[in-house]
Structure 1
Amino acid sequence: MNQEIIDRLGVITDEEREIINGRTEIDRNRYTEGRDLVIDSKKMLEHGKMISIRPHTRFVHFPKHKHNYIEVIYMCRGETVHIIDGEKVILKTGELLFLNQHATQEILPAGEEDIGVNFIILPEFFDTAFEMMGEEENLLRDFLVGCLCFDPRYASYLHFQVADVLPVQNLVENMVWTLLGDQPNKRRINQITMGLLFLQLMHYTDKISHTLESFEQKLIFQVLTYINENYKNGELTELAALLNYNIYWLSRAVKRLTGRTYKELLQIKRLNQASFLLLNTRISVTDISIAVGYDNTSYFHRIFRSYYGMSPKEYRDSVS
């Protein structure tokens, strides 16, 4: 990250100065007016704002707490140790941690060289990002969206180990730079940047760790991740072998947990990918059909029309 940004975020804050001078615990009044330690967005955000940043408070143990907003933590340098719903998460340089509103978090003391930045974000800020991710059905996207919503059925945190992914690093740095500065239209700039960040993160599901309290939630994520990464040739038999499950049991479990068969989930992913290629490339329809896993072009035309209400060519021409 840009050294100027790190220098600005690394300045000892008034709160940290109090801790260095002998304060042994956080000042709760900085974070909430309630009896329970639920950090309040009204304390963290100026009136009318949907997003802000603040450097992570170092030198002190931050006790168990929740937030009434979505928090995203990015480590600019060093590392921090978090206990989230009882699980230990070590956030290292260049990594991102998304926490939703039902996550219980505890943070161990960080040193002076451990510089992190906290994004305080109201849920409605993500509207633009979700729109940019597309309106067509995308099951893995829906899972990620659910993780960011106040819905205890989904994971309470997402840990993206993306220190080696340059586009992600650039986008996060752009957001930090914009929020630290006084640029005009910075809300819109950062909403679009967040959308671009989400689109990038969707390509790195192999770099996500998360808390999923139930076996069923873990299984859904495993199935959707496999389909997202192997939609062209992915077979249920292979997935069952990878997960070490009986294929007939897995088939029934997928249907029960998602409301769709494995074949239907695979088809949704293939058609979403086909629609992306139709709108963003000039690849022929025949080649797109093969690229997404359909060697029979006539069959591809038939299921595409059934799903989208028009042929692939009509779909492409509708936005050209």
Structure 2
Amino acid sequence: MNQEMLERLSVITEEEREILNGRTEIDRTRYTKGDELITSRKTEVREAFHIDSGKMLEHGKLIRIRPHTRFVHFPKHKHNYIEVIYMCKGETTHMIDGETVILRTGELLFLNQHATQEILPAGEGDVAVNFIILPEFFDTAFEMMGEEENLLRDFLVGCLCNDTRYASFLHFKVADVLPVQNLVENMVWTLLNDQPNKRSINQVTMGLLFLQLMHYTDKISHTREGFDQRLIFQVLGYIDENYRDGELTELSSMLGYDIYWLSRMVKRLTGRTYKELLQIKRLNQAAFLLLNTRLAVADVALAVGYDNTSYFYRIFKERYQMSPKEYRKNNRAL
């Protein structure tokens, strides 16, 4: 991280000064209010207290950053917003829904509103920045990811919504991915310097970050409860990279699974067969090529894995209710 930014984020805050001067726990009035504060004091550490976006964000703001509070145990809590944690330096240990996650330099942690989180004390050299984000901030990012039927996209969207059907967190081990590092640091810089139009800039930057992260599903940490979700990531990641000629036989060999078992699992977890998922990806890519290149329709079909142009015409029309030529003409005219 840029040294100037790191120094700014490393400054001892007023809250941390109180802790260093003898306070033994966090000041919950900084994080919650009203009835919730009374309830959290009564339950103490038995139950998670709720951190309120109204205390963390100025009125009308959709995003804010703050350095993670060091030197103290942060008790079990939930948020009514989405939290993204970027580890600038050092490491922090998080207990999320009973699972231990160690966040190291350059890594990202996304948490849903339904995640229960607890954080062990961090030292002075453990510098993390917390992005406090309301769900509507992600509208631009979702638009940038496109409307195509992409189950990986849907999974990421679900992980940023208050929906308990999805995993409560995503841990991306992307310290070695320079584009991801640059995008995160750009957002930090923009928010630290209160740059004009920072909301629009950061909404677009978040969209670019999502697009990058979708290419690094292999860098998502494994969770004990998330085997099904990891398998979805692996299958969809393989299809994204090998849609032209990827075969279930090769994928099953790569993953070390019996092909018949994998075929049944793909159907159970996604509601579609491997062949159907592959076709969706191919046709989405074909639509992209029709609108963004001058390739002939036959060449588009070949580029996405179809040698039989007549068959390509038929399945394309079934999906888009028009021929490839009509799709190109109608959509380019918009």
Q: Does 1:134 align with 2:146?
A: yes
Residue of structure 2 equivalent to 1:113: 125
In structure 1, C-alpha distance between the alignment counterparts of 2:107 and 2:254, rounded to whole Å: 28
Unaligned runs of 5+ in 2: 41-47
Residue 97 of structure 1 deviates from its aligned partner by 0.8
Q: Which SS does the other structure have where 2:243 is aligned?
A: coil
Instruction: Tell me how far apart the structure 1 counterparts of residues 179 and 258 of structure 2 sit (CA, whole Å).
Output: 40
Map of 1:55-66 to 2, 5 A cutoff?
A: 55-66=67-78
Matches within 5 A, 1:57-96: 57-96=69-108
| Count of residues paired in the alignment | 320
Give unmatched runs, 5+ long, in structure 1.
none
Task: Output aligned runs, 1:192-203, within 5 Å.
Answer: 192-203=204-215
Residue matched to 1:170: 182
1:175 and 1:190 in contact (8 A); partners too = yes
Q: Distance in 1 between matches of 2:244 and 2:183?
A: 30
Counterparts of 2:240 and 2:146, CA distance in 1: 15
Supply the AA of the counterpart residue of 1:300. Answer: F
Could you give the per-residue CA deviations for residues 107-143 of structure 1, whole angstroms, max 9, x where no partner exists? 1111111111000001111111101100121111111
Q: Contact 1:157–1:211 (CA<8 Å) still a contact in 2?
A: no
The aligned counterpart of 1:10 is 10
2:44 alignment partner in structure 1? none
Contact 2:167/2:226 (8 A) holds in 1:
no
Provide the secondary structure at the position in 1 that maps to 2:221: strand
Equivalents in 2 of 1:175, 1:312: separation in Å?
Answer: 39
Q: After superposition, where does 1:182-221 map in structure 2 within 5 Å?
A: 182-209=194-221, 211=223, 213=225, 215-221=227-233
Structure 2 distance, partners of 1:133, 1:242, is: 28
| Cα distance in 1 for residues equivalent to 2:123 and 2:202 | 29
Helix, strand or coil: the match of 1:42? Answer: helix
Partner in structure 2 of residue 294 of structure 1: 306
Asked whether the 8 Å contact 1:212–1:218 carries over to 2, the reply is no
CA distance, structure 1, for counterparts of residue 92 and residue 124 of structure 2: 11
Residue by residue over 1:197-217, the C-alpha shift from the partner in whole angstroms, topping out at 9 and shown as x without a partner, is: 111111212212254725444
Q: Quick one: distance in 2 between partners of 1:117 and 1:264?
A: 41
| Cα RMSD (Å) | 2.0
CA, structure 1 residues 30+319, in 2 after alignment: closer, same or farther (shift >3 Å)? same
CA shift for structure 1 position 145 = 0.9
Give the secondary structure class of the aligned counterpart of 1:15: helix
Q: Is the 8 A contact 2:97 2:116 kept in 1?
A: yes
Q: How far 1:73 moved relative to its partner?
A: 0.5
Alignment match, 2:246: 234
User: Normalised by the size of structure 1, how large is the TM-score?
Assistant: 0.92
Contact 2:215 2:237 in 1 (8 A): no
Distance (whole Å) between structure 2 residues aligned to residue 212 and residue 243 of structure 1: 18
CA deviation map 1:193-248 (0-9, x unaligned):
11111111112122122547254444433332332333222222333344444433
Q: Percent identity?
A: 81
